[in-house]
Structure 1
Amino acid sequence: MNQPLTVFVRADSVQLQDFARLCGQHANPQDYPHCSEVQGNVPIYQAQALREGDRGQVLDELHRLFRDGPGVMVVRQGYADLNVVDRHSQVFDAIFAKEAAQGLTADHFAKAGSNGRIWNSLQKAALQSPSSFVEYYANPLLGLVAEAWLGPGFQVTAQVNVVHPGGQAQQPHRDYHLGFQTEDVVERFPLPLHALSQYLTLQGAVAHSDMPLETGPTLLLPFSQQYAQGYLAWRRPEFIDYFQQHAVQLPLNKGDLLFFNPALFHAAGTNQTPDRQRMANLLQISSAFGKPMESVDRERMMLALYPCLLQRLADQVLDAQELDAVIACTADGYSFPTNLDTDPPLHGLAPQTGQQLMRQALRERWTYATFADRVAQMSAKRQA
């Protein structure tokens, strides 16, 4: 009789040799036919190749990359029009100024003064400048990569990080969900839930500045997401030493995109320059089935963005794919949780989502007042 699998494991059970064997793999470019090259075991994609590729094949390839492959990818020229990125950087600058005036400067993940952080940059940017939000999040590549890992109905959250000159490197770590729990809490979860955690989010970043190596772009350890006990391992000295010896860094250009499995061991690097800031919009995209890290007032975002979307459709400057991309980043794409007494499914097995409501309103060209009324009705129906 085979020995039963131990599903509750302790931190002292981790084995560096098992981890090193997984991290010693090599990414074969032939396994990722849409990529242009592999650098440091990281597949590099050109944005145009992803846009023009067969959607089903691209989704399958990227999912395999995050699960069975190196777990990290770069998209060059994710934003071909850098003016879009620069305009959104100006929106972030305005938010930074507003929050500094309010005394909101704390960042729990870095030494005081070494960086700047905007929490919930998604909602704040939507309210600060709807027009910039629409053109920025109208990028279908964001949704393409997110759907490859998470499926439809994903929930976008975002946080801006600016690393000032001299900002120091982070300790290598894994990310939300279990990556944000203490070791003793992680030990209470059965090992299959450790694997499940990585399927609940996707980490991404939009480079808002050029990031040569001296500015400290993210250190990455390809294939490290495959180690089943990694949420118990990343704090241990021998794993930190291994990371520091084997992690890779790739320079990024403004407009490039970086995506990785949240279980990948990674860490922000040291900004060694005397006068250059490193700025990124960090995307933490959650599965429809998981709890996002940040609370986002999506109904307020829907109301703020609706007039701009309506006008852009009237001006014929937003195609259907771009419209879907904005709506996916704005409204909730999942029907639950809700109050099934007041919000029963009328056409199928699930009630209408915020995304479906927004698409219907734009398709039928509702007035703002009508849309606002229907959003209020939807909100009221979903209350317990």
Structure 2
Amino acid sequence: MLIAFHVTARLMDMTTSATTATGAWVEASDCDLDAFRAQVTRETDPADYPMASDVRQNVPVYSAGAIAQRDRRALQAELIRALADGPGVVAFEGAFDHDVVDAASEALTAIIDAQRAEGSVAGDHFGKAGANDRIWNAAQKLALHAPEVFADYYAADALALVCEAWLGPRYQVTSQVNVVNPGGGAQVPHRDFHLGFVDPDQLSAYPAHVHALSPALTLQGAVAHCDMPLESGPTMLLPHSQRFTAGYVAFYRQEFIDYFADHHVQLPLSKGDAVFFNPALMHGAGANTSTDIRRMANLLQISSPFGRAMEAMDRTAMVRAIYPSLLGMKAAGRSDRDLRNVVNATAEGYAFPTNLDRDQPIGSLAPPSQVDTVLAALADGFTPAALDTALTAHGERRIP
């Protein structure tokens, strides 16, 4: 009970400190490197994580084989504490059996080969199309391509343990497979979905309590599909950096990028190992400096089932209906703010979920949302017919 109270109190403190210590908004002045340094220059005390088998590079490491012998609730409370108030990242040795990983790797390689044969080259947020091998929506593709392999893979209890700990039951799994070939470059340090994918010029529009709560909506994970020694470029991590509320804005700043370069850690992994981390943890894929390791990882993004509206609405039909009125408002001299208010109340404002094979985030962290499409149409003076064409194309890119 004391553990549960501590974790709950810490999560509440994360939200209240965001609105009282620095104000209701995250300002440029909050991106203080000295304050950031004070948060991250700390050691992870093994005594705080008694169920871990080891602490390496400030990361608690657990044995997946020992899960059945542990008190599940107590172990989950320890994981919550590590992800929220501790280093922000945990690792599980042997999370996935080798034969299960090998079967999944074979199936996923077949999917990559089929993509190549079709001339479909997937790009991502940080790499040019063709630089690495990427499978968007890998969970669905694996389920359809090899359902028995999918079932064996996602039966892994280490995955369920940490997902239930951070998000509760009925969590939703998505995944993207990334194969970084020899010579593949490192990513820039970043935070992840949701606010981690918001453009920096928009971040300040979100109040500080949203910056603090966003990490509680998702959990990030990576499953090693091959041995990953340091030269293969396992994920670069900055333990404890998830505690810095201004981090979504700060990770775009050069001084924070430089600090990350000098102080990050990397945890070598064996095939079947997995790491899970708070999406606010500053991280990035490392450079593959090997000559012969095709570093394959299944990048897991697990979401809370609660992040959605109560009612299902046909927002495309709504946009088509009101667009002539928007053109009339613009012609009458109504302000850009008025027009934007109407569009925000009508169109889908978020780029996700989408079909990332068709709607790839090349050159940005996210493809354009329906709101972006409508605002651009208004700015360019699209006719209703031209907007209809743009909306149809936007919708077709998002079809599963």
TM-score by length of 1: 0.74
- 1:246-301, Cα deviation, whole Å (9 max, x unpaired): 100010000001100000000100000112110011100001122695458xxxxx
Q: 1:154 aligns with which of 171, 193, 196?
A: 171
Kindly indicate whether residue 70 of structure 2 is the aligned counterpart of residue 49 of structure 1.
no
Deviation at 1:5, TM superposition (A): 5.4
In the alignment, structure 1 residue 190 sits paired with structure 2 residue 207: yes
Q: Which moved more, 1:131-140 or 1:213-222?
A: 131-140
1:260 aligned partner, one-letter code: F
Residue in 1 that maps onto 2:324: none
Summarize deviations over 1:31-52 as a string: whole Å, max 9, x none.
1111011111101111122232
Deviations 1:304-357 (A, max 9, x none): xxxxxxxxxxxxxxxxxxxxxxxxxxxxxxxxxxxxxxxxxxxxxxxxxxxxxx
2:41 to 24, 39, 49: 24
Mean Cα displacement is larger for which, 105-114 or 218-227?
105-114
Mapped contact 1:165–1:272 kept (Cα < 8 A): yes
Matches within 5 A, 1:347-362: none
Percent identical among aligned pairs is: 52
C-alpha deviation, 1:11, in angstroms: 3.0
| Paired amino acid for 1:169 | A
Matched, 1:87 2:95: no
| Counterpart selection for 1:179 from 174, 196, 205 | 196
Compute the displacement of 1:231 (Å).
0.4
Instruction: Provide the residue aligned with 1:106 in structure 2.
Output: 122
The answer to whether 1:97 aligns with 2:97 is: no
Q: Unpaired segments of 5 or more residues in structure 1?
A: 297-384
Report the alpha carbon displacement of residue 21 of structure 1 after superposing the two structures with TM.
Answer: 0.3
Q: Which amino acid aligns with 1:93?
A: T
Corresponding residue for 1:263? Answer: 280
**C-alpha separation between the residues in 2 aligned to 1:248 and 1:204?**
16
Residue pairs, 1:331-350, within 5 angstroms: none
1:228 is paired with a residue of what secondary structure?
A: coil
Q: Following TM superposition, by how much is the alpha carbon of 1:12 offset from its aligned partner in structure 2, in angstroms?
A: 4.3
1:246 aligns with 2:252: no
What corresponds to 1:344 in structure 2?
A: none
Contact 2:92 2:158 in 1 (8 A): no
Seen in structure 2, the aligned counterparts of structure 1 residues 4 and 237 have a Cα distance that, compared at 3 Å, is closer
* Structure-2 residue corresponding to 1:314: none
* 1:4 CA displacement: 8.1
**How many residues are aligned here?**
293
Deviation digits for residues 55-78 of structure 1 (CA, Å, limit 9, x no counterpart): 110111000100000000110111
1:116-265 maps to which residues of 2 (within 5 A)?
A: 116-265=133-282
Amino acid in structure 1 at the alignment position of 2:122: A
- In 1: Cα distance, 2:48 partner to 2:160 partner: 22
Give the deviation of 1:103 after TM superposition. 2.1
The letter of the residue matching 1:123 is Q
Superposition CA RMSD, Å: 1.6
What is the SS of the residue equivalent to 1:70?
A: coil
Query: How far apart, CA to CA, are the structure 2 residues paired with 1:295 and 1:237?
Result: 31
TM, length-normalised to structure 2: 0.71
Greater CA drift, 4-13 or 30-39 = 4-13
Alpha-carbon distance between aligned partners in 1 of 2:352 and 2:95, rounded to the nearest angstrom: 25
Deviation at 1:114, TM superposition (A): 2.4
- The answer for unaligned runs of 5 or more in structure 2 is 1-19, 309-350, 356-400
Secondary structure at 2:182's aligned position in 1?
coil
**1:277-356 matches, cutoff 5 A:** 277-290=294-307, 293-295=352-354
